[in-house]
C-alpha cells in the first residue's frame, strides 16, 4: 500500500485507497465482487483478471494490497497461483474465493496453510444483492488492507480499563471468532498446552460444510483433539469442540458432567452458529467459571454472553486491534470494560494458560 502523501500545509493527507485485484474466471463473479466493493471510497479495484497466471503477471508489475483469488480456473488455478503471488509480493493479502461445498472448504483450508489470509464463499445472485454481504466483504478487505499500514495512535481518553484477576480458576475455555478467525484460531491453539486441564469450545462464523474441515485442520495441528460438535457429545478436559455450521452450540449439565445440545433456533447477530448462545449456556453449565477468548471478527456477537459471564465471576481476554483483521467482536467487549487483558494474538495463549492455572498467575492491570 502506498504511504499517505504529506499536504502542503504539513498535515497528513488521507491514506491512499486499498488496491484490490479480483481474479476469477467468471465475469459474473468478478462483477458481483466489484459491485459489492464499489460503495467503499477507500477501496479501489485496480484489476479484474480471469486466471491465476494473469494475476501473477499483474502483481509483478503493479502495487496491489489485496487479491480476491478464485480456486478453480483455466490456465492456472488458485492453489498454483497462491505461492507465486506471495513470492512476488510477500506483504500482499490473498483472500480465496471458494464454492460452498466440502471440496471448496477443503481447498480453502489448504490455501490457509499455504499462506492465504482468509477465504470467502462465492456470492450467489441473492448474496450479491444483500447489503450484509457487501458490508462483510468491505470490512474484510479494509482489515487486510490496514495490515500494510500502521494504526494511528489512540486518541486521548480512549484507554481501556481492564478488570481485576478472577478469584477462581475457570472450568471451561470458550473462544469466539469470525472474520480472520481461522488463521487466528490456528495461531492460538498452537499456543495452548497439550495437557490442558479444561474443555475448549469454539464458535467460528462459518457455513455448513466448512466446519468439519476446520475441525480437522485444527486437529492436524497436533496440540489438542478437535471435532465438530454433535448432539450429546461429552464436554471433556483437553478436547476442543467446534460449533457446526448452521447450528448454535449449547452446553448443558448432565449428571456430574456436561454435554452438547445443538439448536436450530433463529440466528443471533445475523449468525448461526452464534457466540452468544454458546457463552450463555456455558455460563449456566459451570456457574460462571468460564474463560472467554474473543478473537478477530466483525460485529458485536459475544458481547451479551460475555456480560453474563463477567457478572457471574468469569473472565475474558480480547485480541488487540493491531493484530485483528476486524476489531469488531474483541473491540466490543474491550470497550465495554469486560476484558481482563487486551493482547496481541501472539501473547494470548500464554495469558490464557496462566489464568487457567489459577488466580496466582494473574494481575490487576490497566491499559
Distances (CA, A) of 248 to 107, 183, 193, 207: 25, 22, 27, 12
> Do the Cβ atoms of 194 and 223 come closer than 8 Å?
yes
Catalytic residue among 36, 178, 323, 324: 178
Catalytic residue among 248, 301, 323, 340: 301
Active site residue 31: no
Asked if the peptide bond before residue 273 counts as cis, ω within 30 degrees of 0, the response is yes
Q: What letters, b where the CB count within 10 A reaches 16 and e where it falls short, cover 136-161?
A: bbbbbbbbbbbbbeeeeeeeeeeebe
Q: Count Cβ atoms within 10 A of the Cβ of residue 113 and give its class: 0-12 exposed, 13-18 middle, 19 or more buried.
A: exposed
Active site residue 205: yes
The count of other CB atoms within 10 Å of the CB of residue 311 is 11
> Do the Cβ atoms of 366 and 173 come closer than 8 Å?
no
Active site residue 134: no
Rounded to an integer, what distance in angstroms lies between the CA atom of residue 355 and that of residue 314?
Answer: 11
- Using DSSP bridges, classify how beta strands 248-254 and 257-263 pair: parallel, antiparallel or unpaired: antiparallel
The SS3 call for residue 220 is helix
- Using DSSP bridges, classify how beta strands 172-177 and 200-204 pair: parallel, antiparallel or unpaired: parallel
List active site positions.
178, 205, 301
Amino acid at each position: 500500500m502506498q504511504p499517505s502523501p504529506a499536504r502542503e500545509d504539513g498535515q497528513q493527507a488521507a491514506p491512499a485507497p486499498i488496491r484490490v485485484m479480483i481474479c476469477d474466471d467468471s465475469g459474473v463473479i468478478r462483477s458481483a465482487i466489484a459491485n459489492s466493493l464499489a460503495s467503499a471510497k477507500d477501496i479501489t479495484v485496480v484489476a479484474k483478471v480471469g486466471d491465476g497466471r494473469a494475476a501473477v503477471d499483474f502483481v509483478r508489475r503493479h502495487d496491489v494490497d489485496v487479491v480476491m483469488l478464485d480456486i478453480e480456473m483455466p490456465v492456472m488455478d488458485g492453489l498454483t497461483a497462491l505461492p507465486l503471488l506471495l513470492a512476488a509480493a510477500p506483504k500482499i493479502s490473498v483472500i480465496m474465493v471458494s464454492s460452498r461445498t466440502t471440496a471448496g472448504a477443503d481447498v480453502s483450508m489448504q490455501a490457509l496453510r499455504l499462506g492465504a489470509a482468509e477465504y470467502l464463499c462465492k456470492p450467489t445472485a441473492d448474496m450479491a444483492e444483500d447489503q450484509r454481504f457487501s458490508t462483510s466483504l468491505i470490512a474484510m478487505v479494509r482489515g487486510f488492507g490496514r495490515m500494510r499500514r500502521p494504526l494511528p495512535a489512540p486518541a486521548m481518553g480512549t484507554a481501556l480499563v481492564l478488570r481485576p484477576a478472577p478469584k477462581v480458576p475457570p472450568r471451561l475455555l470458550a473462544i469466539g471468532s469470525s472474520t480472520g478467525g481461522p488463521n487466528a484460531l490456528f495461531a492460538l491453539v498452537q499456543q495452548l498446552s497439550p495437557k490442558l486441564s479444561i474443555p475448549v469450545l469454539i464458535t467460528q462464523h462459518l457455513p455448513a460444510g466448512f466446519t468439519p474441515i476446520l475441525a480437522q485442520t485444527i486437529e492436524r495441528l497436533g496440540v489438542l483433539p478437535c471435532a465438530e460438535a454433535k448432539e450429546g457429545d461429552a464436554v471433556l478436559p483437553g478436547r476442543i469442540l467446534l460449533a457446526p455450521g448452521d447450528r448454535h452450540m449449547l452446553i448443558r449439565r448432565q449428571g456430574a458432567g456436561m454435554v452438547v445440545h445443538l439448536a436450530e433456533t433463529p440466528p443471533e447477530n445475523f449468525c448461526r452458529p452464534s457466540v452468544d448462545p454458546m457463552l450463555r449456556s456455558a455460563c449456566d453449565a459451570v456457574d460462571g467459571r468460564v474463560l472467554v477468548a474473543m478473537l478477530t471478527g466483525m460485529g458485536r456477537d459475544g458481547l451479551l454472553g460475555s456480560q453474563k459471564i463477567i457478572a457471574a465471576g468469569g473472565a475474558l481476554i480480547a485480541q488487540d486491534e493491531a493484530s485483528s483483521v476486524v476489531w469488531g467482536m474483541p473491540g466490543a467487549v474491550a470497550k465495554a470494560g469486560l476484558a481482563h487483558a487486551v493482547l496481541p494474538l501472539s501473547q494470548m495463549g500464554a495469558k490464557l494458560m496462566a489464568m487457567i492455572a489459577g488466580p496466582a498467575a494473574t494481575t490487576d492491570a490497566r491499559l
